[in-house]
Structure 1
Amino acid sequence: MKVDALDIDGSYLIRPTIFPDDRGLFLEVLSQPAFAEAVGRPFPVAQVNCTSTVRGTIRGLHAVALPPGQAGYTTCVNGAVLDIVVDVRVGSPTFGRHHAVVLDDQERHALYLAEGLAHGFAPLTDEATVLYLSSRLHSGTGAIGVNALDPDLALPWPDGGGEPRLSDKDRAAPTLREAARSGLLPGYAECRRQYALDRDAAARRDQDGAGRRDQDAAGRRDQDGAARRDRVG
């Protein structure tokens, strides 16, 4: 799999290697070693959600406040969607900017978003099934909504053939400017601190693991040496 950084800090497009044959195909949806090497920290999966969505619907824009925040990993397993990430981190050099990607059941790409980023999606097919992997359990606490139809954002949603279908909560969500004025949005500096803490914690776990492996190997060598001495004696 290949992991490419997008032009909004903390967002990545994952391009898996697909192995087709006469039975169908196989791919790795997520490989922790490859992901951690590219991003600098692992993605702990606490919950996996699934939605089925019909054309003409927009889901989003959604994010989670810090602390604790919630990183997400999204892929489309049936149909196709346009997924749009929006930087809602106050103080970010790309605040208010967006990046749109197509997720579908052909290329099987996935989108990773670090804590503090918002996203939403709309189907490009009559129906689309999307899987969301989340780094923390969903509790509703700290949920942030930004209106997907905010005219200042001018997001390139596909034409669904009529008025977009949104949940009541999403339709009533504030614009980005309103959310910023209300103090609802995460700060970029706060998010960067969280990313750094996660990287440091992952590095410590790796060092501890390596130390334990070295100790175990040394212990086995001592046991083997003692066993050989007993046989010689």
Structure 2
Amino acid sequence: MNFISTKIEGCYIIEPNIIKDDRGYFMESFNENTFQKATGQGVHFVQDNQSFSTKGVLRGLHYQVGEHSQAKLVRVLSGKVLDIAVDIRPDSKTFGKYVSVFLSAENQNQFFIPRGFAHGFLVLSDTATFFYKCDNYYNKESEGGVLYNDKTLNIDWNFSENELIISEKDKKQPILEKARKVW
């Protein structure tokens, strides 16, 4: 695996080593020892989640607060998405900045998002199956969110506003300035 640092400390793009032959391919998608050596982060994943969405669906920007905060390792099993992680750590020098990554079944890349980030993705293909590991269990009372089109974040979703399919809940998220503090 190749671990690529991003412009925000703690976020990594992970390129797998894919072994191909006439039968197909094999790859190791996660190895805790390799991950910890490459990132210096002692993450232990406890929950896996998966979603299926159609083109234009935007899910996010979501996070968990306090003791229920979550780190995530995300990837796409089918299709293609634009994945976004926004630094919402109050004391971070990159607070309010974001990293965007194209993830697809074709490139098999993964994106590691540490605790203290709001996360969202937009489906770019006709459909996409999105999979992610979390290092903490989901807790409804600890939900947090940031409005996907907060002007201070200035996220380029690569889609026009009228093409987006967004839940009512996500349309009503607060701007970053008024969002729940991650800790």
In structure 1, C-alpha distance between the alignment counterparts of 2:158 and 2:77, rounded to whole Å: 19
2:100 maps to which residue? Answer: 100
| CA RMSD in angstroms, aligned pairs only | 1.5
8 Å CA contact 2:150–2:176 kept in 1: the answer is: yes
Name the one with the larger helix percent: 1
How far is 1:141 from its partner? 2.8
Residue deviations 1:74-128, cap 9 Å, x none? 0001011000111111121111111110010111111111111111100110111
Name the one with the larger strand percent: 2
In structure 2, C-alpha distance between the alignment counterparts of 1:34 and 1:57, rounded to whole Å: 33
Question: Under a length normalisation based on structure 2, what TM-score does the superposition of the two structures give?
Answer: 0.94
Question: Under a length normalisation based on structure 1, what TM-score does the superposition of the two structures give?
Answer: 0.75
The farther-off stretch of 119-128 and 158-167 is 158-167
Quickly say closer, same or farther: Cα 1:81–1:31, change in 2 above 3 A: same
The farther-off stretch of 149-158 and 48-57 is 149-158
Task: Tell me the SS of whatever aligns to 1:67.
Answer: helix
In structure 1, C-alpha distance between the alignment counterparts of 2:69 and 2:9, rounded to whole Å: 16
Q: What are the equivalent positions in structure 2 for 1:3-152 lying under 5 Å apart?
A: 3-152=3-152
Name the structure, 1 or 2, with higher relative contact order (CA <8 Å, separation 6+): 2
How far is 1:41 from its partner? 2.9
In structure 2, C-alpha distance between the alignment counterparts of 1:131 and 1:141, rounded to whole Å: 23
Q: Match for 2:26: what amino acid?
A: F
The structure 1 segments of at least 4 consecutive aligned residues displaced by more than 6 Å after TM superposition are none
Quickly say closer, same or farther: Cα 1:163–1:105, change in 2 above 3 A: closer
Max Rg structure: 1
* Identity between Structure 1 and Structure 2 (%): 33
In structure 2, C-alpha distance between the alignment counterparts of 1:161 and 1:90, rounded to whole Å: 29
2:181 maps to which residue? Answer: 185
1:158 maps to which residue? Answer: 158
